[in-house]
């Protein structure tokens, strides 16, 4: 650290905060903090360590400054974002890239010099009148090869409080690593606030990502998806680093499936929104390591995963006591929880769309005072809670949290699951032939259908490779190649499975019950240990009827008919061929540098399906296939 920087920090920080900052022997971090203190010009600065007193100070600051308010249940608070600041701002989320760098048509970019100049102009004196919180966190467990230390500068106590629940504290990790720390940097300001203490100038909302400099800027916004830098913005930084170092950062849950004789088998899983990701992670009979983001590394000839986070920033709409018993119990316990953009009732309780009980007749929500039928300036009816309303809580407060949640070694991966919302093509559960086949036909070919209730026109298929399209920082072709190389270098990589909880019959009725996913998970657990056979089809291995019949009785205590089995596991050749054609066209026309093997594998799948159709017809029931593994 230069003498000039040292003098500046001495003058701007209290003696105690200066001491806390300088206890970390990382001059690069000191220069970063000093630069943005000078640029943003806050009235006050608080440097937080991992101590309970410092954490409490930040939590209470969110109450003092009006970003949060207390609710009836102890440790519960409410936060409101601005009415038009309720989701990730994709249009204004951009990568800062140098001239000549092309990330492909799917990634939003801006010239690095131009973007830095613009963001610094917006940040100039933006924290005047605010207190700046200097926070230290760790992505992944502390004291681990997975760990990435992070420093967050924010003038929002709500953002800092949220990160206390979502991430491991990293001050001691920074001290431990000292000059060897390779850290991520985050700068956030909510900007000018209105009378409700929400961001006012959302026309100047910006989320800029500099992968080269390992820094994320977020300004004039409070919504967590834009401001909690360690969440999805940090995924871009980590994918960029992982691509260079040979590991993976995936948009995946990590769950332990409990097998025979107290065995636990760990899976990761990628599901686009509204495709069953949370419900899979939260099955009561299993245990959760993570619900959203994972780092995956090779050690020897095995793959290991950690949950990047330590908490949940979850969508609350639809959570009820019947379908979500564990989450429901947590949301009604005196654990530390931040509710955002739900309805606050007169007795300081909360209500959200889909909650048990009657809808209140009035309350306070993200639009201010609310009563049924209220409309916004555009004439749209305002629901009691926003459809993207959230809850933030620590995973440790869920009764199904796995004991290895914070294991610095990670958990050994036996399987990878890809699941989309698909009404007419894929069977409920299927195992890929091998890693390459799985990555290409399950991961890189992942699609999800929109639903009329929440996303507009029903049945539109959205291409979303590995459920990670929105968070990539490298071109899609390179990302697919990263995944292929990761597993192909192992003698026995994790098995890859595809699941589909949304298959419908000819009458438009779902062929699955909501609880059937418990059986699919148990079957996958047995498969990776080679304890059940399977039937080979052109698209992968499907379960045998007798194995599923036994599992339905053991897991759900119900009969499983052969008619249901045939309905669910018939291979629908025309629909599968149509999907291959769609995916092939996307990679031919919109993705640069697609690995050639992708087209080879899709061609092989098409040829197998055509051959099978010539022999058996368009719709091939499971009894037609011969041979098993």
Pairing state of beta strands 248-250 and 294-299? antiparallel
For the CA atoms of 298, 299, 303, 306, what is the dihedral angle to 10 degrees? -90
C-alpha closest to that of 63 among 336, 385, 330? 336
For the CA atoms of 622, 624, 626, 629, what is the dihedral angle to 10 degrees? -10
The two structure tokens encoding residue 455: 């996303």
The residues with which 364 forms a beta bridge, in sequence order, are 344, 369
Q: How far apart are CA 91 and CA 96, in angstroms?
A: 14
Alpha helical stretches, state H, 23-98:
27-40, 52-64
For the CA atoms of 478, 479, 483, 485, what is the dihedral angle to 10 degrees? 20
117 is in an annotated binding site: no
Q: How far is CA 273 from the centre of its chain?
A: 9
Q: Any idea which fold 249-309+405-624 has?
A: Phosphoenolpyruvate Carboxykinase; domain 3 (3.90.228)
pLDDT of residue 457: 60
Taking a C-beta distance cutoff of 8 angstroms, is the pair 65, 157 a contact?
Answer: yes
421 is in an annotated binding site: yes
Q: How far apart are CA 629 and CA 623, in angstroms?
A: 15
- Give SS3 for 285: coil
The two structure tokens encoding residue 254: 């990590």
For the domain bounded by 3-67+91-245, which CATH number is listed? 3.40.449.10
390 is in an annotated binding site: yes
Q: Which residues are catalytic?
A: 275
pLDDT of residue 455: 39
For the CA atoms of 395, 400, 406, 411, what is the dihedral angle to 10 degrees? -130
Q: How far apart are CA 313 and CA 450, in angstroms?
A: 22
pLDDT of residue 401: 96
What does the domain layout of the chain look like in residue ranges? 3-67+91-245, 249-309+405-624, 313-397
φ/ψ of 252, rounded to 5, equals: -135, 140
CA distances in angstroms from 616 to 534, 539, 561, listed in the order given: 20, 15, 23
251 is in an annotated binding site: yes
Q: What is the DSSP letter of 345?
A: P
The two structure tokens encoding residue 169: 């504290």
Who's near 346: CB < 8 A, 6+ residues apart? 360, 362, 363
Who's near 557: CB < 8 A, 6+ residues apart? none
Who's near 31: CB < 8 A, 6+ residues apart? 1, 2, 5
The residues with which 315 forms a beta bridge, in sequence order, are 390
Q: How far apart are CA 421 and CA 583, in angstroms?
A: 16
Burial of 368 (0-12, 13-18, 19+ CB in 10 A): exposed
Please state, as a whole number, how many other Cβ atoms lie within 10 Å of the Cβ of residue 107: 20
Taking a C-beta distance cutoff of 8 angstroms, is the pair 620, 567 a contact?
Answer: no
88 is in an annotated binding site: yes
The residues with which 267 forms a beta bridge, in sequence order, are 255, 415
224 is in an annotated binding site: yes
C-alpha closest to that of 131 among 37, 255, 196, 55? 37
What is the distance between the terminal CA atoms of the chain, rounded to a whole angstrom? 62
Locate the DSSP E strands across 461-613: 461-463, 495-499, 535-537, 540-542, 571-572
Taking a C-beta distance cutoff of 8 angstroms, is the pair 382, 460 a contact?
Answer: no
DSSP-based helix, strand, coil % in the chain, nearest 5 = 35, 25, 40
Block means of pLDDT (10 residues each) for the chain, length 629 residues?
90 97 96 98 98 97 96 96 90 91 84 96 97 98 96 97 97 95 97 93 95 96 92 94 96 97 97 89 94 95 96 94 92 96 97 96 96 94 95 96 97 97 95 98 94 55 94 94 94 96 93 94 98 97 97 97 96 97 96 95 98 96 73
What is the greatest pairwise CA distance in the chain? 82
Q: Any idea which fold 313-397 has?
A: Phosphoenolpyruvate Carboxykinase; domain 2 (2.170.8)
Who's near 221: CB < 8 A, 6+ residues apart? 85, 89, 190, 191, 199, 202, 205, 207, 227
Taking a C-beta distance cutoff of 8 angstroms, is the pair 494, 413 a contact?
Answer: yes
389 is in an annotated binding site: yes
C-alpha closest to that of 425 among 558, 583, 553, 309? 583
Please state, as a whole number, how many other Cβ atoms lie within 10 Å of the Cβ of residue 458: 12
Taking a C-beta distance cutoff of 8 angstroms, is the pair 97, 112 a contact?
Answer: yes
The two structure tokens encoding residue 416: 């990878």
Residue corresponding to tokens 């600065």: 45
φ/ψ of 615, rounded to 5, equals: -90, -40
């Amino acid at each position: 650290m230069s003498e000039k920087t040292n003098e500046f920090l001495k003058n701007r920080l209290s003696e105690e905060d200066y001491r806390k900052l300088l206890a970390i022997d990382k001059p690069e971090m000191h220069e970063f903090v000093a630069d943005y203190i000078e640029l943003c010009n806050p009235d006050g600065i608080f440097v937080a360590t991992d101590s309970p007193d410092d954490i409490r100070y930040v939590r209470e600051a969110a109450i003092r400054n009006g970003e949060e308010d207390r609710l009836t249940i102890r440790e519960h608070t409410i936060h409101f974002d601005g009415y038009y600041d309720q989701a990730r701002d994709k249009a204004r989320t951009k990568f800062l890239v140098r001239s000549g760098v092309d990330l492909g048509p799917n990634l939003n970019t801006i010239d690095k010099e131009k973007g830095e100049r613009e963001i610094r102009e917006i940040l100039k004196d933006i924290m005047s009148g605010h207190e700046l919180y200097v926070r230290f966190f760790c992505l992944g467990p502390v004291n681990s090869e997975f760990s990435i230390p992070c420093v967050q500068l924010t003038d929002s106590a709500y953002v800092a409080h949220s990160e206390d629940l979502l991430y491991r504290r990293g001050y001691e990790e920074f001290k431990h690593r000292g000059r060897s720390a390779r850290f991520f940097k985050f700068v956030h300001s909510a900007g000018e606030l209105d009378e409700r203490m929400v961001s006012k100038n959302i026309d100047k909302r910006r989320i800029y990502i500099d992968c080269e400099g390992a820094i994320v800027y977020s300004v004039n916004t409070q919504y967590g998806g834009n401001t909690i830098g360690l969440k999805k913005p940090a995924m871009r930084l980590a994918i960029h680093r992982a691509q260079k170092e040979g590991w993976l950062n995936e948009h995946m849950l990590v769950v332990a499936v409990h097998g025979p004789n107290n065995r636990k088998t760990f899976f990761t899983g990628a599901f686009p929104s509204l495709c069953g990701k949370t419900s899979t992670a939260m099955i009561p009979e299993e245990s959760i390591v993570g619900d959203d983001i994972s780092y995956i590394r090779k050690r020897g000839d095995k793959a290991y995963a950690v949950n990047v986070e330590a908490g949940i920033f979850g969508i609350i709409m639809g959570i009820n006591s019947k379908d979500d018993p564990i989450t429901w119990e947590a949301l009604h316990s005196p654990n530390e929880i931040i509710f955002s953009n739900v309805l606050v009732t007169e007795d300081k309780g909360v209500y959200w769309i889909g909650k048990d009980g009657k809808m209140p007749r009035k309350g306070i929500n993200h639009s201010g005072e609310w009563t049924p039928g209220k409309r916004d300036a555009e004439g749209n009816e305002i629901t009691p809670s926003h459809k993207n309303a959230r809850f933030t809580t620590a995973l440790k407060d869920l009764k199904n949290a796995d004991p290895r949640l914070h294991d610095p070694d990670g958990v050994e991966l036996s399987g990878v699951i890809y699941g989309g919302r698909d009404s007419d093509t894929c069977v409920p559960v299927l195992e890929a032939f091998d890693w390459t086949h799985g990555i290409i036909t399950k991961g890189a070919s992942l699609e999800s259908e929109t639903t009329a209730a929440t996303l507009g026109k029903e049945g539109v298929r959205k291409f979303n490779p590995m459920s990670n399209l929105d968070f990539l920082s490298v071109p899609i072709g390179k990302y697919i190649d990263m995944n292929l190389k990761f597993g192909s270098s192992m003698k026995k990589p994790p098995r890859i499975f595809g699941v589909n909880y949304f298959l419908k019959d000819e009458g438009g009725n779902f062929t699955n019950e909501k609880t059937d996913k418990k059986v699919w998970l148990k079957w996958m657990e047995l498969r990776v240990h080679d304890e059940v056979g399977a039937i080979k089809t052109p698209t992968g291995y499907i379960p045998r009827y007798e194995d599923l019949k036994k599992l339905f009785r053991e897991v759900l205590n119900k009969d499983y008919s052969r008619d249901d089995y045939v309905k669910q596991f018939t291979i629908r050749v025309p629909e599968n061929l149509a999907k291959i054609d769609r995916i092939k066209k996307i990679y031919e026309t919109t993705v640069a540098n697609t690995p050639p093997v992708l087209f080879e594998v899709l061609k092989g799948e098409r040829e197998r399906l055509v051959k099978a159709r010539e022999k058996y017809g368009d719709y091939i029931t499971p009894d037609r296939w011969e041979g098993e593994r």
